Structure 1
Amino acid sequence: MKKRLRYIFFIAAFTAGGIIICQLYWVYFNYKTARSNFNQTATLSLRQSIDSCLLGQDTLPASLADKKPTLTFMMTQKANVMRAAARDSAVRPRQPTYTMQLNTVEINEDQLPGVRTLVARLFSQRSNKALSLEKLNHFFEKELLRNGITEAFILTIERSGRSLLPGGIEATVTLNKEPVIVKAELKNRNAFFLKMNFLPALVSTLLIVLSAGSLYYMGRIIKRQMQLDGMKTDFINNVVHELRTPLTILKSSNEALSSFGAAGDEASLKRYLGINTLVIEDLDNNIERILDFSRSEQGRRLPVTETIDLVPVLHQAQLRFSQVNNASITIMADEAPFPIVTDPVMLGIILTNLLDNAIKYSPQQPVIGIAARRGDKKWQLEVSDQGMGIPRESLPYIFDKFYRVPTGDLHDIKGYGIGLTYIKQLVTDLNGNIEVASKPGKGTTFTLTFYQ
Structure 2
Amino acid sequence: MKLNTKKIFAFISIIVISTICLQFYWNYKNFTANEERLKNEIQIAYDNSLEIYFDEASKETFISVFSTDSTVQIEDFIEKIKTDSFFGKKLKEQKKSFTPIKESTTDMSFKFEETENNIKKPITPKDVKVKDIIVLKGKKAIDSIGGIEQFPNKITMSFVNDTIKYKTLDSIFKTELHRKNIVLNYEFNHLKKDSLFYIYLKKEEKLPFKIKPNSTYLKPNETINLNYEYSNKILIKRMSGELTLSIIFSIAVIGCLFFLLYIIKKQKKIDEIKNDFINNITHEFKTPITTIAVALEGMSKFNPENDTIKNEKYISMSFNQLNKLENMVEKILETATLNTNELQLNLEEINLIPFVKSIIKKYQNITDKQIDFIFNTDKILFKADLFYLENAISNLIDNAIKYGGNFIELNCYVIEKKIIIDIKDNGNSILKSQEKKIFEKFYRVPKGNIHDVKGYGIGLYYTKSIIQKHNGTIELIRNNNTIFRITLPNEH
**Fold shared by both chains (TM-score > 0.5):** yes
1:429 to partner: Cα distance: 0.7
Identify the match of residue 384 of structure 1 among 395, 400, 424: 424
1:231 to partner: Cα distance: 0.8
Query: How many angstroms apart in 2 are the aligned matches of 1:263 and 1:205?
Result: 87
Query: How many angstroms apart in 1 are the aligned matches of 2:484 and 2:432?
Result: 15
Identify the match of residue 274 of structure 1 among 288, 312, 316: 316
Query: How many angstroms apart in 2 are the aligned matches of 1:39 and 1:356?
Result: 78
Q: Which amino acid aligns with 1:446?
A: F
List per-residue Cα deviations over 1:13-60 (Å, max 9, x = no partner). 010011112112222222221121011122122113213322332356
Identify the match of residue 181 of structure 1 among 225, 232, 236: 225
8 Å CA contact 1:39, 1:168 repeated in 2:
no
Give the secondary-structure state (helix, strand or coil) at the position aligned to 2:282.
helix
Q: Which runs of 5+ in 1 are unaligned?
A: 64-71, 73-118
For 1:372, the equivalent position in structure 2 comes to 412
Q: Which amino acid aligns with 1:283?
A: L
1:252 to partner: Cα distance: 1.7
Q: Does 1:437 align with 2:437?
A: no
Query: How many angstroms apart in 2 are the aligned matches of 1:334 and 1:25?
Result: 69
Give the secondary-structure state (helix, strand or coil) at the position aligned to 1:151.
coil
Give the secondary-structure state (helix, strand or coil) at the position aligned to 2:187.
strand
8 Å CA contact 2:207, 2:229 repeated in 1:
no
1:410 to partner: Cα distance: 1.4
Q: Does 1:149 align with 2:180?
A: yes
Change in CA separation of 1:5 and 1:385 when aligned onto 2, cut-off 3 Å = same
Of Structure 1 and Structure 2, the greater helix share is in: 1
1:329 to partner: Cα distance: 1.0
1:424 to partner: Cα distance: 0.7
For 1:447, the equivalent position in structure 2 comes to 485
Q: Does 1:140 align with 2:173?
A: yes
Q: Which amino acid aligns with 1:158?
A: N
1:300 to partner: Cα distance: 1.4
Aligned alpha-carbon RMSD (Å): 3.1
For 1:412, the equivalent position in structure 2 comes to 452
Change in CA separation of 1:263 and 1:54 when aligned onto 2, cut-off 3 Å = farther
Identify the match of residue 331 of structure 1 among 352, 360, 373: 373
Identify the match of residue 331 of structure 2 among 270, 278, 289: 289
Q: Does 1:211 align with 2:253?
A: yes
* Alignment map for 1:307-322 (pairs within 5 Å): 307-322=349-364
Give the secondary-structure state (helix, strand or coil) at the position aligned to 2:4.
helix
Give the secondary-structure state (helix, strand or coil) at the position aligned to 2:349.
strand
For 1:238, the equivalent position in structure 2 comes to 280
For 1:131, the equivalent position in structure 2 comes to 164
Q: Which amino acid aligns with 2:181?
A: T
For 2:90, the equivalent position in structure 1 comes to none
Query: How many angstroms apart in 1 are the aligned matches of 2:209 and 2:187?
Result: 17
Query: In terms of Rg, which structure is larger?
Result: 2
For 2:236, the equivalent position in structure 1 comes to 194
TM-score (norm 1): 0.77
Query: How many angstroms apart in 1 are the aligned matches of 2:473 and 2:384?
Result: 14
Query: How many angstroms apart in 2 are the aligned matches of 1:277 and 1:321?
Result: 20
For 1:11, the equivalent position in structure 2 comes to 11
Identify the match of residue 396 of structure 2 among 354, 362, 371: 354
8 Å CA contact 1:354, 1:383 repeated in 2:
yes
Query: How many angstroms apart in 2 are the aligned matches of 1:326 and 1:293?
Result: 30
Q: Percent identity?
A: 26
1:356 to partner: Cα distance: 0.4
Q: Which amino acid aligns with 2:168?
A: K
Q: Which amino acid aligns with 1:287?
A: V
Q: Which amino acid aligns with 2:273?
A: M
Between stretches 198-207 and 236-245, larger displacement belongs to 198-207
Change in CA separation of 1:152 and 1:11 when aligned onto 2, cut-off 3 Å = closer
Change in CA separation of 1:289 and 1:182 when aligned onto 2, cut-off 3 Å = closer
Q: Which amino acid aligns with 1:407?
A: K
1:190 to partner: Cα distance: 4.6
Q: Which runs of 5+ in 2 are unaligned?
A: 66-74, 76-155, 197-205
Between stretches 47-56 and 166-175, larger displacement belongs to 166-175
For 1:84, the equivalent position in structure 2 comes to none
Give the secondary-structure state (helix, strand or coil) at the position aligned to 1:304.
coil
1:211 to partner: Cα distance: 3.5
Change in CA separation of 1:443 and 1:162 when aligned onto 2, cut-off 3 Å = farther
Between stretches 288-297 and 12-21, larger displacement belongs to 288-297
Give the secondary-structure state (helix, strand or coil) at the position aligned to 2:338.
helix
Query: How many angstroms apart in 1 are the aligned matches of 2:322 and 2:186?
Result: 98
Size of the aligned set, in residue pairs, is 386
1:295 to partner: Cα distance: 2.5
For 1:158, the equivalent position in structure 2 comes to 189
List per-residue Cα deviations over 1:298-351 (Å, max 9, x = no partner). 231222222222121222222221233411111111211232232222221111
